[in-house]
């Protein structure tokens, strides 16, 4: 096969950028080295022999953090990808047989060679051969810089690599190969052998300063102060080299009492190192710690205090104050949280008068519906010529999700896809407030609200205005109410209400109209409240006050609340973007965005009518060329380097964290501001330093503020420096859960069923990624608005861990109610409807693990009542409530037997979740206790582990198999004691030799609490 058969065609910011050849050594993997990338939004096509064009596409627009995997299709349009920071290198890989496409951020190795060094002057061809190329001479990574100097680019990972130059067919240098040492990996060091009494320390290449054994107290990765008395210690060694590791600690010179603790091994098989770590409770507050490590192997000991010693060395003396070490503050409440991810439009409709009167397509795509509050939007904005969708109506809450409104039927005639993604159901703030008793009874003490800022979309991920809550969540028609909210007149981030500004017009006015920016005239750039980017002009709208009232009520009921921060992009209707559309290159906001071309822009002038000005900016959207997130022009990306934009977002942050009273209350239950943020696609920001500055703003508002980030992989580089985010939405936890509890395949890959030992090993490795307090606060989620429902994933096990799949039902996703699932569906390997074990049994088993593992459990609304569905939009169905009668649902799966079935609350599952959440909240050891593995039985698929803190202990045992088992036995530290199963409320006796022996039915577990008399 000709290696030049495949080419990659790259488009940047919606324009052709360049075309390059792929290189391949084996005809299976094709790659292209993309150096010094420019920032922007990109999409890709692949051509074969300059004829067949295939598009690179994907299901979910997850941020391009480190690796981005996509697929290649002959049909369909390519999708743009964002997250390209300037100056990075990207390895592009294409696998034609699997139609797989991978982008990997990396750093290419570049070196220069002067051929004069080898006595050469005029040569025809310079090539390089290496392990990477299979020792085939290639010229692809060689660039001629001058007559005799050439630059060579290679893409090996970290390690030791050998290579040679091939110049006009002759190999240089003669004799030994050139050697390249990159990064820190175990391959840099001699292989370790446990039990040989030797300790690998120096690299194979003696001139290197790198060491295999490392501990750096200045790094959170190795030394982490969790509290005044709890400290996390870690030391690195060559993998499989050291049998045991200990730490010897002395807390005071006067009292030289030595405490010695054995450390637990964590293997990083990716980089070939072992990490030994432990959290040590010093028993009291300490200002100074003196310690060294002890390593044992083959009956020999060595000591480490920054250097390796054969005799006991001086101890490292570390002061533990904030001035001396890095301290990573993560609020305790976030570790104790039981999270509820609430999608406002789909939770509960408490106020039908604020129901949306159009959706994200905008009023111009609909004709007036006289049954709605149509007069609260300017008449000239409604459809005038081409009746695309007809009259807008919200979807009925209790209908079958496959039922369509008239506007959906009309719109779908002209497209080959569903418009379900654009529906409105009417959920709102009043609905959330009315359901606070439900949340309390469930046991929820923290909620994350999907975006609530002003937007035409149901999901609000494209904001029209961050300053204000969306009227369809609050109110469209103003009432003159203040909702018992007190505004501090000296609050410099918002010191007046809409009533102060509007006076008598504060009743029966249109909040939708008031939020729109003036495109021309005396008040150009201001909205109906007279607001600009200056926070001194900002106003608390009625919808804002309704939200503040909700925040206060949640706090009174012991529930924290965080907002969704979507600061990478806005909607194309954001007020500042509208001003760019109006003024073009003269706009003061043009540098807030990444506008690439104003050539065809026509400015709005004062002689135009309001209607003409509006029509012009709508047309200007198509004339401007700009960067947009995921290639969606409706989501223009911000320029996060711009200082004015940064100030705007920082002030938005302060407004919602301080609240109307402009301060942090001593008692959080009396506070009127939010408690933190969930950040959307934070790795898409070109300016990653933005988050370092923003963190200081957040923590400056409230020391107990919480920041979690949507990061889908190993986010250690964004967490472990302690200057960005507190923690992550723990998708990696979910992937491990799927691998163990849901997968059934014995073959490797994403469908592989983890064995019990695999499960523990993977958890152990992922625990080593982050500081312990970040692990405690991580959101261990069942799923989210971006994934399928966990209940449905159980009956779509063939998808494995791939959270990107299942988006479209036509791909074969089994979306029937899970208890009715059968293996005639292509993604289902078990005939669940005829099985004694049901999907709910698996979900319950996962919940036992979720509530007893390290990290804060998070439910996606409706998990607790058995909601099911594929990925967006099917995971975003309206909440099931007991007080409603729902229509029967027709099986929407691509393969189905025309099943119809009830939609109703699963009362048994709801009771189960209430019980488990109560167990979690009543037993703080499940939050703060250390984790210890007790049993990993691969043959019977049974695990047992302990959470222990001081004299408190809870042991969880899980039978993950489809079989009942007796005589499940494992050793504990509690001979002769009793444990109470918190689920069945039965006692379990420990034998005098410390062993527990129990029986468990298939897919069942116990939570055993040490009984203290």
Return phi, psi of residue 846, to 5°.
-60, -40
Tokens of 801: 């861990």
- The contacts of residue 758 (CB under 8 Å, 6+ apart) are 739, 740
What's CA 588's distance to the chain center, in Å? 33
Q: What is the pLDDT of residue 376?
A: 86
- The secondary structure element, H or E, covering residue 616 is helix 610-623
β-partners of residue 244 are 296
* Residue 110 contacts residue 64 (beta carbons within 8 Å): no
> In angstroms, rounded to a whole number, what is the distance separating the alpha carbons of residues 881 and 873?
19
Torsion angle of the four alpha carbons 601, 603, 609, 615, in this order, in degrees rounded to the nearest 10: 20
β-partners of residue 129 are 164
Buried residues in 596-621 as b, exposed as e (16+ CB within 10 A): bebeebebbeeebeeeebbbbbbebb
Query: What are all long-range contacts of 586-589, with beta carbons under 8 Å and residues at least 24 apart?
Result: 588/525, 588/644, 589/644
Q: Which sign does the torsion angle of CA 714, 719, 724, 728 carry?
A: positive
What's CA 115's distance to the chain center, in Å? 49
Measure CA of the first residue to CA of the last residue in the chain; give whole Å.
77
Residues 644, 647, 652: CA angle, nearest 5 degrees: 130
Q: What is the pLDDT of residue 328?
A: 92
Q: What is the pLDDT of residue 105?
A: 85
**Among 19, 10, 42, CA closest to 637:** 42
> In angstroms, rounded to a whole number, what is the distance separating the alpha carbons of residues 301 and 60?
52
Q: What is the pLDDT of residue 66?
A: 76
In this structure, the chain runs to a length of 1013
What's CA 268's distance to the chain center, in Å? 22
Tokens of 519: 């495109």
Q: What is the pLDDT of residues 794-850, one digit of tens each?
A: 999 999 998 865 455 556 899 999 999 999 988 999 999 999 999 999 999 999 999
> In angstroms, rounded to a whole number, what is the distance separating the alpha carbons of residues 885 and 61?
35
Q: What is the pLDDT of residues 677-717, one digit of tens each?
A: 999 999 888 899 999 999 999 999 998 999 999 998 899 98
* Residue 509 contacts residue 529 (beta carbons within 8 Å): no
Q: What is the pLDDT of residue 805?
A: 53
Tokens of 994: 């410390």
- Strand blocks (E) in 557-611: 560-565, 595-597
Residue segments in the chain with a per-residue pLDDT below the cut of 50: 1-3, 806
Q: Which whole-number Å values give the CA distances from 784 to 347, 448, 876, in the listed order?
A: 14, 11, 9
β-partners of residue 260 are 248
Torsion angle of the four alpha carbons 516, 519, 522, 523, in this order, in degrees rounded to the nearest 10: 30
Q: What is the pLDDT of residue 829?
A: 95
The model's pTM is 0.88
Residue 139: count other Cβ atoms within 10 Å of its Cβ. Answer: 13
Q: What is the pLDDT of residue 45?
A: 93
What's CA 620's distance to the chain center, in Å? 34
Q: Which whole-number Å values give the CA distances from 467 to 181, 360, 451, 539, 967, in the listed order?
A: 51, 19, 12, 9, 61
> In angstroms, rounded to a whole number, what is the distance separating the alpha carbons of residues 381 and 363?
6
Residues 895, 897, 901: CA angle, nearest 5 degrees: 110
Q: Which whole-number Å values give the CA distances from 419 to 133, 244, 351, 401, 460, in the listed order?
A: 48, 59, 25, 12, 16
> In angstroms, rounded to a whole number, what is the distance separating the alpha carbons of residues 800 and 890?
26
Q: What is the pLDDT of residue 158?
A: 60
What secondary structure does DSSP assign to 127-164, as a single string? EEEETTTTT--B-TTEEE-SSSEEEEEE---SEEEEEE
DSSP symbol at 421: G
Residue 253: count other Cβ atoms within 10 Å of its Cβ. Answer: 10
Return phi, psi of residue 107, to 5°.
-135, 110
């Amino acid at each position: 096969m000709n290696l030049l058969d495949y080419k990659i065609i790259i488009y940047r910011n919606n324009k052709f950028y360049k075309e390059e050849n792929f290189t391949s050594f084996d005809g299976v993997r094709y790659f292209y080295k993309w150096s010094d990338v420019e920032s922007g939004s990109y999409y890709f096509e692949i051509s074969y022999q300059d004829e067949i064009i295939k598009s690179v596409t994907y299901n979910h627009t997850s941020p391009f953090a480190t690796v981005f995997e996509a697929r290649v299709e002959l049909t369909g349009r390519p999708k743009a990808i964002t997250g390209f920071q300037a100056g990075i290198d990207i390895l592009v890989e294409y696998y034609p047989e699997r139609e797989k496409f991978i982008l990997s951020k990396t750093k290419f190795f570049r070196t220069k060679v002067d051929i004069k060094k080898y006595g050469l002057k005029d040569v025809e061809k310079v090539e390089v051969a290496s392990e990477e190329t299979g020792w085939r001479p290639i010229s692809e990574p060689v660039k001629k810089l001058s007559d005799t100097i050439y630059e060579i680019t290679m893409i090996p990972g970290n390690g030791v690599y050998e290579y040679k130059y091939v110049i006009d067919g002759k190999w240089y240098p003669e004799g030994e190969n050139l050697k390249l040492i990159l990064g820190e990996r175990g391959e840099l060091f001699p292989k370790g052998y446990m039990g040989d009494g030797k300790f690998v320390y120096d690299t194979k290449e003696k001139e290197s300063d790198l060491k295999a054994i490392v501990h750096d107290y200045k790094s959170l990765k190795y030394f982490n102060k969790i509290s005044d008395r709890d400290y996390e210690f870690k030391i690195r060694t060559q993998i499989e080299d050291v049998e045991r590791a200990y730490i010897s600690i002395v807390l005071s010179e006067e009292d030289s009492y030595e405490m010695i603790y054995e450390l637990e091994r964590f293997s990083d098989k990716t980089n070939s190192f072992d990490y030994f770590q432990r959290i040590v409770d010093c028993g009291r507050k300490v200002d100074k710690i003196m310690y060294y490590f002890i390593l044992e192997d083959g009956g020999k000991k060595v000591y480490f205090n920054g250097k390796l010693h054969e005799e006991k060395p001086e101890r490292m003396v570390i002061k533990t104050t904030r001035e001396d070490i890095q301290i990573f503050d993560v609020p305790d409440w976030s570790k104790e949280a039981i999270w509820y991810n609430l999608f406002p439009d789909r939770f509960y409709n408490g106020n039908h008068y604020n129901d949306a009167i159009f959706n994200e397509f905008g009023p111009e795509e609909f004709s007036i519906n006289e049954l709605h509050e149509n007069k609260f939007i300017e008449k000239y904005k409604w459809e005038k010529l081409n009746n695309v969708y007809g009259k807008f109506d919200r979807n009925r809450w209790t209908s079958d999700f496959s039922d369509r409104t008239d506007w959906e039927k009309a719109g779908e005639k002209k497209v080959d896809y569903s418009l379900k993604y654009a529906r409105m159901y009417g959920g709102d703030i009043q609905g959330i407030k009315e359901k606070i008793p439900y949340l309390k009874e469930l046991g929820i003490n923290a909620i994350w609200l999907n975006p609530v800022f002003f937007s035409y979309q149901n999901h609000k991920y494209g904001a029209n205005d961050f300053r204000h809550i969306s009227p369809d969540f609050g109110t469209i028609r103003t009432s003159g109410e203040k909702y018992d909210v007190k505004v501090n007149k000296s609050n410099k981030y918002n010191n007046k209400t809409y009533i102060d500004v509007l006076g008598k017009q504060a009743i029966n006015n249109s909040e939708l109209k008031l939020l729109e920016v003036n495109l021309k005239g005396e008040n150009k750039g201001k909205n109906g409240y007279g607001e600009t980017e200056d926070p001194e002009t900002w106003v608390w709208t009625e919808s804002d006050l309704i939200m503040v009232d909700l925040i206060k009520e949640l706090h009174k009921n012991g529930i924290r609340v965080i907002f969704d921060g979507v600061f990478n992009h806005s909607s194309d209707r954001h007020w500042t973007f509208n001003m760019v559309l109006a003024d073009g290159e003269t706009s003061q906001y043009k540098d807030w965005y990444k506008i690439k071309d104003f050539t065809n822009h026509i400015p709005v002038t004062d002689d135009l009518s309001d209607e003409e000005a509006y029509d012009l900016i709508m047309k200007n959207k198509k004339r401007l060329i700009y960067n947009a997130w995921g290639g969606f022009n409706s989501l223009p990306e911000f320029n996060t380097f711009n200082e004015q934009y940064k100030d705007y977002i920082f002030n938005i942050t302060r407004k919602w964290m301080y609240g109307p009273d402009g301060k942090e209350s001593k008692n959080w239950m009396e506070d009127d501001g939010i408690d933190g943020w969930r950040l959307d696609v934070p790795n898409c920001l070109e300016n990653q330093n933005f988050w370092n500055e923003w963190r200081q703003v957040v923590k400056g508002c409230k020391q107990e503020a919480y920041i979690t980030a949507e990061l889908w992989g190993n986010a250690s580089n964004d967490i472990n420096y302690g200057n960005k985010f507190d923690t992550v939405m723990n998708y990696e936890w979910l992937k491990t859960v799927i691998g163990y509890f849901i997968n059934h395949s014995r073959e490797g890959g994403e469908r592989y069923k983890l064995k019990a030992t695999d499960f523990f090993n993977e958890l152990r490795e992922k625990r080593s990624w982050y500081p312990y307090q970040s692990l405690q606060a991580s959101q261990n989620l069942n799923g989210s608005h971006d994934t399928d429902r966990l209940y449905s994933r159980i009956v779509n096990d063939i998808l494995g861990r791939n959270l990107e799949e299942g988006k479209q039902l036509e791909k074969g996703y089994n979306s029937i109610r899970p208890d009715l699932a059968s293996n005639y569906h292509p993604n289902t390997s078990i005939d669940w409807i005829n099985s004694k074990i049901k999907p709910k049994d698996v979900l319950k088993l996962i919940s036992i693990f979720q509530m007893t593992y390290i990290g804060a459990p998070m439910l996606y609304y409706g998990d607790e009542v058995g909601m099911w569905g594929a990925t967006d939009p099917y995971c975003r169905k309206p909440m099931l409530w007991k007080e409603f009668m729902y229509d029967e649902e027709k099986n929407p799966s691509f393969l189905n037997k025309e099943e119809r079935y009830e939609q109703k609350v699963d009362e048994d599952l709801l009771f189960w979740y209430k019980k488990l959440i109560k167990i979690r909240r009543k037993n703080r050891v499940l939050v703060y206790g250390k984790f210890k593995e007790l049993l990993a039985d691969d043959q019977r698929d049974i695990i047992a582990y302990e959470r222990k803190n001081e004299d408190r202990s809870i042991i969880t045992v899980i039978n993950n198999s489809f079989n009942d088992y007796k005589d499940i036995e494992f050793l504990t530290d509690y001979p002769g004691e009793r444990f109470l199963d918190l689920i069945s409320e039965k006692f379990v006796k420990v034998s005098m030799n410390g062993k527990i022996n129990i029986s468990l039915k298939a897919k069942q577990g116990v939570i055993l609490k040490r009984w203290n008399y």
